[in-house]
Homo-oligomer: A and B are copies of this chain.
Amino acid sequence: MTSKYERANASDGQSRIPDIVIGRLPIYLRSLKILLSQGQTVTNSQELGDRLGISSAQIRKDLSHFGEFGKQGTGYDVAYLCKQLEKILQVDCIWPVVLVGAGNLGHALASYAGFENRGFRIVGVFDNQPDKIGTHVGSLQVEPLTQLPAHVARHHCRIAILAVPTKAAQNVANLLVEIGIKSILCYAPITLNLPEGIRVEYIDPVIHFQHMTYYLEKDCLKT
């Protein structure tokens, strides 16, 4: 009795399902939840694809890696597919996340209300600048980095947000890995150098801007 697929992970040399497919599932889930919130009970690969600018075949094939979730002639039950995707992505629960960096960005992230209903909760905010420690961000209080290891252990955190100044980012990342963090969302505009098995994703708006400008008619201020 084997399951339809084996979960890919760091120790699993040959992941069965392409990462690019995994990367699309959260997009599908996000769109489905919007449909759900609008009271729509049924959808289909065509509709979903149109909304996302993805071909319907792509969506069907992606989903088919994990099982058969649709009904021929009808499509997909929105609530059911949501539930299934949440299970696949393991967001049918709340993951505790630590936030390092209590600057403007840290404040914005800590105050953001949209994490909770998508599977995540920021359980601690840390910074090393003395003037920040003790101040409130969202409903949390900024703690010194020395408190981080205990906090991560207590909450069993696997995920961290790195929102510190660029020059501090690599060192803080090293610390995060040391204390057991497995996945880092890095807002610093650098590529981190970390051991195998640690997953890092990056958010840098300038990367997106520079991608855009390639395609724009040039008509900007001279430096």
Q: Which A residues are within 8 Å of any B CB, using their own CB?
A: 7-10, 22-23, 25-27, 29-31, 34, 51-53, 88-97, 103-105, 107-109, 111-112, 114-115, 118-121, 156, 158-159, 161, 166, 182-183, 185, 189-191, 193, 199, 201, 203-223
Contact = CB atoms under 8 A, between A and B. Distances in A.
A34 B221 contact: no
Nearest to A191: B52
Given A191-B53, A212-B159, A214-B88, A95 B220 contact: yes
B22 A182 contact: no
A210 B26 contact: yes
B217 A199 contact: no
B203 A208 contact: yes
Contact of A156 (B95, B114, B219): B219
Contacts of A119: 206, 209-210, 213
A221 B94 contact: yes
Contact of A190 (B34, B96, B193, B215): B34
Contacts of A34: 190
Majority secondary structure, A binding face? mixed
Contacts of A207: 26-27, 30
Given A53-B191, A203-B205, A93 B214 contact: no
A202 B31 CA distance: 14
A209 B223 contact: no
A18 to B, nearest CB: 12
A179 B161 CA distance: 36
Contact of A201 (B7, B97, B191, B212): B212
A210 B166 CA distance: 25
Interface centre among A34, A199, A201, A211 (most CB of B within 10 A): A211
Nearest to A187: B205
A-B pairs, top 8 by smallest CB distance, nearest first, are: A26-B210, A104-B108, A183-B212, A201-B208, A108-B108, A90-B213, A93-B220, A26-B207
Contact of A27 (B31, B121, B191): B191
